[in-house]
Structure 1
Amino acid sequence: MIFLKTNDEIELLRASNLLVGRTLAEIAKVIKPGVTTKELDRVAEEFIRDNGAVPTFKGFPNPYGGPFPASICTSVNEQVVHGIPGDVVLKDGDIVSVDCGTYMNGFCGDSAYTFCVGEVAEDVRNLLKVTKEALYIGIENAVQGKRLGDVGYAIQQYCESHSYGVVREFVGHGIGKEMHEDPQVPNYGRRGTGTMMKRGLCIAIEPMITLGDRHVVMESDGWSVRTKDRKCAAHFEHTIAVGAGKADILSSFEFIEEVLGDQAI
């Protein structure tokens, strides 16, 4: 069942999502070669709780891998999504997708950003750039009267025109009082198909794009998803509210990019 949100509910969602953006900015301050992904998780959880919220990812159930043990997902290089923070030491030239969720005042926030660690190869930086651009192209299509297939089609066409792979097995989603609500929001599709979008629909759009083949495999931990060919993947995510003329982006990359400065993608 799809729940359209009132203006008041959208503002509560915005508050949770802006906290995600601020949390990711705190992570941006400490990402560098030599830092472990567990340290990123510690920074995130402390900041989220200090701001009166709880991390929605921590304890999230999974019949294949048990409850998620951390507050953020850290997916390094060939990992696409759902990487578990641990003793992995980030190296110069790595990329790491950090996905973060918060729960505050009854509503969820959800956003992701892929960071460069030190000096990253030009072809990989370009993957990140195109994936981020594809996110905004998808958002441009998230307006009342269009269908979800229009969002997926726009993302797919843009990424495939750069010869990148578009992951099919994992998709965006509705969001509100629950982190994952209906409808599913694929990053591929056909124009004019899928659920009709109406004002008040709140969704997380999150392109997951690969440098090589689009196929993915699940790691033995039951959570981490990586590319089958072990080439890098990028992941960017915004939570948005569908509007009559244009989408309202409820999350933000501005805090992150203030920290990164000239190094921002």
Structure 2
Amino acid sequence: MIEIQNRAGVERARVTGRVVGNMLQALRTRCRVGTNLLEIDEWARLMILEAGARSCYVDYAPGFGRGPFGHVICTAVNDAVLHGRPRDLRLADGDLLTLDLAVIVDGIAADAAISFIVGAVRDPEDMRMIETTERALAAAIEIAAPGARLGDLSHAIGEVLAGAGYPINLEFGGHGIGSTMHQGPHVANDGRPGRGYRLRPGLLLALEPWVMADTDRLVTDPDDGWTLRSATGCRTAHTEHTIAITETGAEILTLPGR
């Protein structure tokens, strides 16, 4: 299913996007060496309640996960990159943490993710990897406009990721978003320009470049049945924004401070 929002729907998406962007920024400032991942989940839960929002993750139970996710935020550390299920783990100095948050406000969802270093940067490669995902996301947003094809966005992302030397996994990528968190169309992190669905005003997309330092293969954590990790144990990074296609281009909905 692909939803196209009217003006009222896009305005509601702006509200949800502000909630997500500001929550991620607030959570980032609270994450320090010694913070427990379960603390982050509880902080997010309280923020969601205060905002009058609803988590997209608590009851999330797709075919690839082991039962409902059961938490309100994804917390992926170091070799974990997607669907990081919060657990009793305290962050260490130099950990690479990804927070991925999706909520619904007034019937419309927004989804975003940020990666950052907790404490001191121990390896410049961590920052290069994070910055590469941010550049890939910016490249796709720059060309997102009515008439563009999904393949144009995928190609723009892939050019940046591959150009920086990172292998690209095509199992998971960006997606349409609206009344539900995950819907069509799928937006792969690499592709051929000029192919795929043609973008239209009112389309909401969650674009999410992510990489693993030296592999394109994922493994599922055997303990929680959810967290996706790099097959080699290498570090990972993930950046995501929800955007709205407008009459003239794209509007980023999940920027903080709006």
TM-score by length of 1: 0.93
Q: Does 1:131 align with 2:137?
A: no
1:27-38 equivalences under 5 Å are: 27-38=27-38
**Runs of 4+, deviation exceeding 6 Å:** none
Q: For residues 200 and 67 of structure 2, what CA distance do their matches in structure 1 show?
A: 36
Q: Does 1:239 align with 2:226?
A: no
Could you say which residue in structure 2 is the equivalent of 1:158? Answer: 160
Secondary structure of 2:15's partner?
A: helix
5+ residue gaps, structure 2, are none
Question: Letter of the aligned partner of 1:218 in structure 2?
Answer: T
1:11-160 equivalences under 5 Å are: 11-63=11-63, 64-120=65-121, 121-160=123-162
Render the CA deviation track for 1:132-179: whole Å, top value 9, x for unaligned.
Answer: 111111111211111001101111111111101222111111111111
1:167-182 equivalences under 5 Å are: 167-182=169-184
What displacement does 1:254 show? 4.7
TM-score by length of 2: 0.95
What displacement does 1:183 show? 0.7
> Which range moves more in the overlay, 23-32 or 230-239?
23-32
Question: Letter of the aligned partner of 1:74 in structure 2?
Answer: T
What displacement does 1:25 show? 1.7
* Contact 1:26/1:44 (<8 A) preserved: no
Q: For residues 128 and 114 of structure 1, what CA distance do their matches in structure 2 show?
A: 6
Q: For residues 253 and 78 of structure 1, what CA distance do their matches in structure 2 show?
A: 26
Secondary structure of 2:211's partner?
A: strand
What displacement does 1:99 show? 0.4
Q: Does 1:229 align with 2:246?
A: no
Q: For residues 243 and 86 of structure 1, what CA distance do their matches in structure 2 show?
A: 39
* Contact 1:175/1:204 (<8 A) preserved: yes
* Contact 2:18/2:256 (<8 A) preserved: no
Q: For residues 112 and 20 of structure 1, what CA distance do their matches in structure 2 show?
A: 9
What displacement does 1:11 show? 0.8
Question: Letter of the aligned partner of 1:247 in structure 2?
Answer: A
Secondary structure of 1:166's partner?
A: coil
Could you say which residue in structure 2 is the equivalent of 1:186? Answer: 188
Question: Letter of the aligned partner of 2:227 in structure 1?
Answer: S
Q: For residues 155 and 60 of structure 1, what CA distance do their matches in structure 2 show?
A: 27
What displacement does 1:253 show? 4.1
Render the CA deviation track for 1:45-99: whole Å, top value 9, x for unaligned.
Answer: 1011111111111121134410011100001111111011111111111111100
Could you say which residue in structure 2 is the equivalent of 1:7? Answer: 7
Question: Letter of the aligned partner of 1:178 in structure 2?
Answer: T
What displacement does 1:109 show? 1.5
**Superposition RMSD in Å:** 1.3
Number of aligned residue pairs: 255
What displacement does 1:252 show? 0.8
Render the CA deviation track for 1:198-247: whole Å, top value 9, x for unaligned.
Answer: 11111100001121111111222221101111111111110001123321
* Contact 2:18/2:257 (<8 A) preserved: no
Question: Letter of the aligned partner of 1:18 in structure 2?
Answer: R
